[in-house]
Amino acid sequence: MNRLLSPNRIMKDTRPWDEEFCISDNCIGCGVCESVCQFSNIKIQNNKPAFLHYCQRCMACIQYCPQKAIGLKGKPLSVCGEMAGDPLAAAILVGLGIRSLSMSEPNIPRVKYALSGISAAKAAEMAEKARKLRTEAEIRKLAATLAV
């Protein structure tokens, strides 16, 4: 399971989440990541983002970086488990910038069908709206409304 999102990591590992982030040479120092981080965890220094160790894993910086320059050191960013196999949740995960989902075999056709009916732009729009909601029920209602 991806260590960034693993519940085991939440329980056992207290290292700052952002220690696993890396910035590729594609970074142009635009500052979008700094402006979208609601936890004031990013400061642009010497034209590159520096992480201040208050990361809450919201993934906004990864989602909104126009250069897709933020990643995880030596690891692909992926989500595994029940959430990845839930068609509505999968659409929101794609909207958040996740491009690798791992799920049990029976869920693959349902998720494939759901994702084939939604553009990346629409998924991103849905993720942005979901980010402002407070409960799972609200997010599910939104996803059901926007998904094709």
Torsion of CA 4, 8, 14, 17, to 10 degrees: 10
Q: Which amino acid is at 13?
A: D
- What is the number of other CB atoms lying within 10 angstroms of the CB of residue 53? 10
Cβ nearer to ligand SF4, comparing 65 with 115: 65
**Interface map 44-63 toward ligand SF4 (x if CB under 6 A):** -----x-x---xxxxxxx--
Least gap, CB of 113 to ligand SF4 (angstroms): 30
| The binder of ligand SF4 chosen from 2, 5, 20, 42 (CB under 6 A) | 42
Least gap, CB of 70 to ligand SF4 (angstroms): 5
Q: Write the CB contacts of 46 (distance below 8 Å, at least 6 apart in sequence).
A: none
Cβ nearer to ligand SF4, comparing 60 with 115: 60
72 binds ligand SF4 per the rule CB under 6 A: no
**Which of the ranges 5-13, 30-38, 92-100, 114-122 carries the binding residues for ligand SF4, by CB under 6 A?**
30-38
Classify strands 79-80 and 42-45 as parallel, antiparallel or unpaired: unpaired
Residues facing residue 80 across a β-bridge: 102
